Amino acid sequence: MNILDIDSLTMRFGGLLALADVSFHVARGEILGLIGPNGAGKSTMFNCISGVLRPTEGDMLFEKDGKLMRINGYKPEKMTHFGVARTFQNVRLFSALTVLDNVRIGRHCRTKANFFGAVLRTRSQKEEEQRIVDESMNWLKFVDLEKFVFNTAGSLSYGFQRKLEIARSLATEPRLLLLDEPAAGMNPKETKSLIDLIHKISDLGVTVILIEHDMKLVMSICRRLVVLDHGIKIAEGGPREIRANPKVIEAYLGRGAADA
C-alpha cells in the first residue's frame, strides 16, 4: 500500500513553475530518494507535502487508517498530527534552548500538556511532563546525543544539530519523515553515522523521503529514486537505472553532482 500519492502536482510562484505536473508514489516503509539540481523543486515538494505551501494544482493523497485521503491545503500542524514530520535544509532549532528542550517541543504535539506550561501544576500534569522528558531522552539516545542533553542546541557541531533536528521530528511520532539534505555540511564520519541512523529509523517502520546531493549516500540507501529538473520529473527508478539514464546525466550527474 502507498503512504503517499503525488498526483499531477503543480506549484507556481508567479511566473515560475517550481513543480510542473509531477506524479509519483511512496510505498509504506520504503526510503525514497528525491534528487535533482539546485532549484529543481525538491524542497518545494516537501513544503507542499508538509502543508507549508498549498499546491496550485494537482492532488496529494496520504494514507490514514488504511485509506488515502486528500491533504491539499492542510496546515503543517494538521500534517504533523497525521504523521508527517520533516527536517529543514537550513537547520531550524531553538539555539538558546537546551538539546532536551528542543526535543520536548517536538514531543508536545502528541500530548495535552503545554510546553510553556501552567504555573500551578496538578499531579497528572507533572506526571505527563515527566513522561515527555523520558520520551525525549529516549529519542536523544536513539540519535546518540544523550551526552549533550543540557547543552544549548547552538553549541553543538553542525552534524549534531542535524541529528538533533531528526530527534525532534521523530518525537512527533511520524509515519512519514521528510529529510531535506541531512548530510549537508557533515564530515565523512558524521555522514556514515547518518546512514546508520536512517536505516534505524526505517527499521522502526517509518517511511522516509530523502533529498540529498551526496549521490553515494542517496544511491546506497534508496532502492528507488525520483529525479526532478526545473520542476519536471525527468526520471524514476532504481539507482543503477538512474545512474545510466541519459536525461539524468545531462541534467544533473554530469554536472558536478557529488560522486555517483
Q: Which residues bind ligand ATP (CB under 6 A)?
A: 13, 16, 18, 36, 38-44, 89
Which residue number, 90 or 122, has a Cβ lying nearer to ligand ATP?
Answer: 90
Q: Give the shortest CB-86-to-Mg ion separation in angstroms.
A: 12
Counting residues that bind Mg ion (by CB under 5 A) gives 3
Radius of gyration of the chain (CA): 19
> How long, in residues, is the chain?
260
From first CA to last CA, the distance across the chain in angstroms is 30
SS3 call for 194: helix
Backbone angles phi, psi at 108, to 5 degrees: -65, -25
CA atoms of 117 and 187, how far apart (whole Å) = 39
DSSP 145: -
Look at residue 39 and give the partner it binds from ligand ATP, Mg ion, none, a contact being a CB closer than 5 to 8 Å depending on partner kind. ligand ATP
DSSP 253: G
Look at residue 38 and give the partner it binds from Mg ion, ligand ATP, none, a contact being a CB closer than 5 to 8 Å depending on partner kind. ligand ATP
Binding residues among 79-118 for Mg ion as defined by CB under 5 A: 89
Q: Give the shortest CB-251-to-ligand ATP separation in angstroms.
A: 12
Backbone angles phi, psi at 226, to 5 degrees: -115, 130
Look at residue 226 and give the partner it binds from ligand ATP, Mg ion, none, a contact being a CB closer than 5 to 8 Å depending on partner kind. none
Does residue 44 interact with Mg ion by CB under 5 A?
A: no
Would strands 31-35 and 224-229 be described as parallel, antiparallel, or unpaired?
A: parallel
Look at residue 18 and give the partner it binds from Mg ion, ligand ATP, none, a contact being a CB closer than 5 to 8 Å depending on partner kind. ligand ATP
Q: Give the shortest CB-132-to-ligand ATP separation in angstroms.
A: 33
**Given the rule CB under 5 A, which residues bind Mg ion?**
42-43, 89
